Amino acid sequence: MAEAALAPLAELKLPARHEFLGLARRLVVWLATRSGFDPEDAEELALAVAQACSNVVEAARAAWGAGATLRLAVTSTEGGLSLDVDAFAPDSREALPVRSARPETATPTAAATQVVSNLLWDVIRALVDVLDCPVPDGGEQIHFRLTKYLIHPPKAEG
């Protein structure tokens, strides 16, 4: 179900690091509840976005090392919210200015990462209505779109 975007609600740019993902999660909960989602659906959407952001952070680290930028853009649609999660290479025009990075922590093996990644994508798919994951082209950007539709329960007659 393709819908025209109505209004950009927020854009958040952060260093592509796991310790900043709580900010993205809080923004999603706040915007979803203000857009009419019940608290449980807002939390589910925030969980899906946090998992997508985590996967994008890992993909950015693998593609470009430290210094990438994570962007979360939230747009209101006729039926709910559309959330774009992007990562930009450190030398991209969209990237935040790079400060001295903290040392990288040890990363899990590729096989372990793939198992966890597959599980996380299954969780994300279960929590949103539409998940669009184009294959990265090896350029300066990684992009994912999650869409959750606002479904109003039928009104009781009487």
Q: What CATH number corresponds to the domain at position 33? A: 3.30.565.10
The residue with greater pLDDT, 100 or 133, is 133
* Tens-place pLDDT, residues 49-58: 999 999 899 9
In a domain, 101, yes or no: no
Q: What is the mean pLDDT of residues 107-126?
A: 56
In a domain, 158, yes or no: no
SS3 44: helix
- How many Å is the maximal CA-CA distance in the chain? 64
Check: pTM over 0.75? Answer yes or no: no
In a domain, 10, yes or no: yes
Cross-strand bridge partners of residue 8: 75
Cα gap 89→9, rounded to integer Å: 24
Cα gap 18→34, rounded to integer Å: 26
In a domain, 33, yes or no: yes
Cα gap 33→26, rounded to integer Å: 11
State the pLDDT confidence band at 68, using cuts at 50, 70 and 90. Answer: very high
pLDDT of residue 125: 74
Residue 158 in this model has a pLDDT that exceeds 80: no
pLDDT of residue 118: 61
SS3 138: coil
State the pLDDT confidence band at 94, using cuts at 50, 70 and 90. Answer: confident
Range of the domain at 86: 5-92+107-149
- The answer to whether the beta carbons of residues 104 and 17 sit under 8 Å apart is no
Residue 65 in this model has a pLDDT that exceeds 50: yes
Count how many domains the chain has.
1
In a domain, 157, yes or no: no
